[in-house]
Amino acid sequence: MASGDWIALGAAFVAIVACVVAVITYRLQVRTQATSDEQQLNELIEKIQDSLSNLGKLSSAISLESSTASGVTLTSLRGQALEAKKLIGRADIEPDWFQNMILGYAFTQVWDPKAAITYWNNAVSSTSGGNAHQAHVSSLEARANFYYSRGLKDDWQNARKDFKNARDELLKDPEGQGPDLAAEQVAQMFLRQSTFELRAEGETAAAALAADAFLTANSIGAQWRKRHALKFIGNLLLEFQQKEGFPEMLRKVAAELSRRGARLEEFPDETAQLLSLPADGSLSLPPDDILFASTDQHAGIDGE
């Protein structure tokens, strides 16, 4: 080879090496940027969690000062959520289930339902048909809560569908936790849905779901777990009746159970005692006194 050929070959080799180095450097930069973006998103999610926690604490105190503080926290939360949304779009990040859930809660709290439903849908779809059974159930229930709160056309029907799908998913029991644990979760979910139905449709619809909660809990095989589940449901329902101004709630639940043919003696004594109390009696006794009061004879479920 002539010297000129060697020089050309050397130049070509150097160019190839430079090209390879450039590609590697570019990929490293992309990877580094992606890591940086993901880290930034994680940090934003942590800040949003803190803001949601602070907002929850402020919401429990009703005062002018807490109202002002809530406004400041909401402004901060809105800014953080929007920054996270912008970062996700710019960096083309696919949020994981937890990030979708947090962003769904955040945008719901700052009155941005259009953004919120995107992340609720993502949370549901990202766990559908996978190995994240409990996460999928939580996503369905969270989206149902959002639908009940938003209340647009068909929202309540969509909420009921999500709750039903969540219960069906629990009863499939793909993780093999056993029918008792599944029934306990389903019973509690019926009760939570009843509080939404109470505001959406009223006491009749809520009482039907609360009755489902009692019947499902009473189907649990292990006696200690059955008593625990029924006590939990009874206490919460009684507290709700006392504090939310629905004095006829338990009576209507008892009447619904009677309508379905449920007999008082099928329940543990303390639950039967609770269901047989008249409205004025249930309001005058605290939950523990009611659930552990002794009695020799119970009235019928419908109080007759």
For residue 187, give the nearest of 161, 142, 218, 221 by alpha carbon: 218
Over 70: is that where the pLDDT of 293 sits? no
Amino acid 29: pLDDT: 53
Nearest-angstrom CA–CA distance, 56 and 173: 33
Over 90: is that where the pLDDT of 296 sits? no
For residue range 161-185, what is the model confidence (pLDDT) as tens digits? 999 999 999 999 888 889 999 999 9
Amino acid 210: pLDDT: 96
What proportion of the chain, given as a percentage, has pLDDT over 90? 54
Phi-psi region of 298 (alpha: psi -120 to 50; beta: other; left: phi over 0): beta
For residue range 128-165, what is the model confidence (pLDDT) as tens digits? 877 889 999 999 999 999 999 998 999 999 999 999 99
Amino acid 36: pLDDT: 85
Query: Would you say 112 and 90 are in contact if contact means Cβ atoms under 8 Å apart?
Result: no
Amino acid 301: pLDDT: 39
Amino acid 284: pLDDT: 42
Average pLDDT (113-124) is 96
Residue, of 243 and 252, whose pLDDT is higher:
252
- Name the pLDDT band for 291 (thresholds 50, 70, 90): very low
Q: Where are the alpha helices (DSSP H) in the chain?
A: 3-59, 64-91, 97-109, 113-127, 133-150, 155-172, 179-200, 203-218, 223-244, 249-259, 269-276, 279-284, 287-292
For residue range 25-81, what is the model confidence (pLDDT) as tens digits? 445 454 455 568 889 999 999 999 998 888 876 665 555 556 666 778 899 999 999
For residue range 249-271, what is the model confidence (pLDDT) as tens digits? 888 999 999 999 998 889 999 99
Over 80: is that where the pLDDT of 216 sits? yes
